[in-house]
Amino acid sequence: MKNNSLFILILLVINIISTESFSQQIIADHTVVDKYNDIPQFYINKVKEMWVTIPGESHSSGYRIGCQLLASIDAAYNVNVTEGGTPEAYTNEHLRLSRATWGDISNATGWRYGYGEEDWYTSSLAKTRTKDHITYCNNNNLTIAAMGFGWCWDMTWNNSPGGTIDPDYQVRWAGSSVGGPQGNIRWGLDANDSVLTGNSVSMETYLNTTIEYMDHCTNNGYQTKIFFTTGPVDGGGNMNENGYQRNLKHEYIRNFVQSLSNGILFDYADILCWSDAGIQNTTTWTDYSENLQTFQYIHSDNMLDMDGTYAEDGDHIGERGAVRLAKALWWLLARMAGWDGEITVNAKVYLEGPFTGSMMNTDVNTLGALPLSQPYNISPWNYSGVESVNSIPNANVVDWVLIELRDTPGGAATATPATRIAQQAGFILNDGSIVSSDGISNMIFGVAVSNNLYVIVWHRNHLGIMSAIPLTFGGGLYSYDFTTAASKAYLSGQQNLGGGNYGMYAGDADGNGEVHLDDIDLRWSIEAGNNGYFGGDMNLDSEIDNQDKNDVWLPNNNISDQIPD
């Protein structure tokens, strides 16, 4: 049953009493699976210093199996999994992963490799033993970098849906609560559901217990990050009513974590309900009010091994699903290590107009004509960014440019406007470097790359160009240099500047993607004789004169940009 006032009160209390040593919310769901490949090497190395433990029963092995499979595919994500004995000591050679705990509900000491709900949250003794585990490890040179509970079928098994129908959700609750005060019986979302289930244990119990572990780490100065998790979405008997009530429990976890400024969630369920092709699997059940409810269920692809067959290996999912878990886990751990999840682009390009043989002139800047705000907020670019500066930050700045990123699973021809994921205005320097508005740094974009990344450079009076091939990733950067060959631009859409240098065609005074007579009739002829920042100044010397028309525009007349539309 819904208990909104209590839920809000709990959140307020949590936010008041928790001293947040880690104040950033991180959600690892299906949207981050492919982003593991964006992790800079620096943070891959940071993850390799970590010991991560995900105590749980059989399903928790999916994390470990997946990480081993990923390492076999790409050695950059090397891992060592410990399945018994003393966990491996500190190393920076690989991620250390296990489900080890020091003690459990039945044992106060010793390394244990089996953990269920009875060990994590169903009793006060469980909480004490888990806190003792965290303390022991952090005080005995086995610092835990991150820990979360590895759910098994705890939300659905042992006790099928039964009891009184929940009046708010029109469903009966199910699940196991081994070690709970009332024993192993079905359970609901919050304390109010005890009247329906006869069980004081609920999803709220798990959430509040996990908060206790977070606070335990904070209050004792431990660097351990405790993260929330969702659970399995497999099992043929866990569809219909049982699957729907499980989905409600997962949603309850998600909503709770999203309400915390420092909440970290590994959304195991959501990750496995989507395929690598980006397709979500859902099923339906008609509730007790005769309303058809649609909810997630594991995608069939994630029940397959890498060779397209399936052999049970203990985690009850296929190898493909396990690898998806591993990719998302690496992303999560890199974020915990301090990676902000953004990508950095290092691009180089020349503009034909101001090019002088090896560099570009900075006349528009030197003569004080360069505006302090980006100029691409008008047609045809209609860019809404607010990039501006108090003064031009670098004497080597030539002009403003607009950078666009497109992400497509196909080749360059498929990088249409529909694939655009980001735009940002910055400066182009006289050596061709493109930098952010601080005049120094590479451009940083708050997006992730899922497929092939292409970069487009727009300039107010030069023809735009797009990379002919996807940008390469290395050293934490996506890099591309247009200047070394005409073919570096899609369909070789740039000018030979001589001396082995290539750059963007000048002469597109109105910025519409074509060099044609309108650039002269509607721009240059009107602006001729002026000094300053004008589209008709095609050689960027801050003067609109015959050199712009005869030396720049005329040789390029009737040339168009080569950017997919």
Q: Which residues pair with 51 in a beta bridge?
A: 96
Q: What is the pLDDT of residue 12?
A: 36
SS3 502: strand
Q: Which residues pair with 402 in a beta bridge?
A: 425, 458
| Measured distance CA(465)–CA(279) in Å, rounded | 33
Over range 118-122, report the average pLDDT. Answer: 97
| Measured distance CA(11)–CA(25) in Å, rounded | 15
Q: Are 275 and 301 in contact (CB under 8 A)?
A: yes
Q: Residue 391: phi, psi to the nearest 5?
A: -155, 155
Q: Which residues pair with 456 in a beta bridge?
A: 404, 466
Residue recorded with tokens 């040339």: 559
The DSSP bridge pattern shows strands 420-429 and 434-435 to be antiparallel
| Measured distance CA(491)–CA(474) in Å, rounded | 25
Q: What is the pLDDT of residue 449?
A: 81
Over range 171-179, report the average pLDDT. Answer: 97
Q: What is the pLDDT of residue 299?
A: 97
Peptide bond between residue 55 and the one before it cis (omega within 30 degrees of 0): no
Which residues have CB under 8 Å from 525's CB, separation 6+? none
Over range 398-423, report the average pLDDT. Answer: 97
SS3 357: coil
Judge whether residue 14 has pLDDT over 50: no
Helix (H) or strand (E) holding 427: strand 420-429
pLDDT tens per residue across span 324-377: 999 999 999 999 998 888 889 999 999 999 999 999 999 999 999 999 999 999
| Measured distance CA(395)–CA(187) in Å, rounded | 67
pLDDT tens per residue across span 66-111: 999 999 999 999 999 999 999 999 999 999 999 999 999 999 999 9
Q: Are 508 and 356 in contact (CB under 8 A)?
A: no
Using alpha carbons, select from 248, 219, 434, 460 the residue that is nearest to residue 344: 434
Q: Are 517 and 555 in contact (CB under 8 A)?
A: no
Q: Residue 300 CA to chain centroid, in angstroms?
A: 24
Amino acid at 44: I
| Measured distance CA(456)–CA(472) in Å, rounded | 15
Judge whether residue 9 has pLDDT over 60: no
> 23 falls in which pLDDT band (50, 70, 90)?
low
CB-CB neighbours of 517 under 10 Å = 11
Write down the mean pLDDT value for the chain.
94
- Indicate whether this model's pTM tops 0.75: no
Q: What is the pLDDT of residue 563?
A: 98
The DSSP bridge pattern shows strands 51-53 and 420-429 to be unpaired
| Measured distance CA(1)–CA(189) in Å, rounded | 7
pLDDT tens per residue across span 273-331: 999 999 999 999 999 999 999 999 999 999 999 999 999 999 999 999 999 999 999 99
Helices (H), 18-60: 41-47
Q: To the nearest 10°, the Cα dihedral for 110, 114, 115, 118?
A: -90
Over range 128-150, report the average pLDDT. Answer: 98
pLDDT tens per residue across span 504-546: 999 999 999 999 999 999 999 999 999 999 999 999 999 999 9
| Measured distance CA(559)–CA(413) in Å, rounded | 19
SS3 210: helix
Using alpha carbons, select from 335, 323, 270 the residue that is nearest to residue 64: 323
CB-CB neighbours of 241 under 10 Å = 21
Using alpha carbons, select from 464, 46, 420, 366 the residue that is nearest to residue 225: 46
Q: Give CB contacts under 8 A, 24+ apart, made by 176-182.
A: 176/117, 177/117, 177/122, 177/201, 178/116, 178/117, 178/118, 178/122, 179/105, 179/116, 179/117, 179/118, 179/119, 179/122, 179/123, 179/126, 180/117, 180/118, 180/122, 180/123, 181/123
Three-state secondary structure of 375-392:
CCCCCCCCCCCCCECCCC
Helices (H), 226-312: 240-258, 268-272
Q: What is the pLDDT of residue 13?
A: 37
Cα 287 to Cα 36, 170, 172, 196, 296, distances in angstroms? 38, 6, 9, 17, 15
Using alpha carbons, select from 125, 149, 137 the residue that is nearest to residue 220: 137
Residue recorded with tokens 């100044």: 537
Q: Residue 134 CA to chain centroid, in angstroms?
A: 29
Q: Residue 435 CA to chain centroid, in angstroms?
A: 23
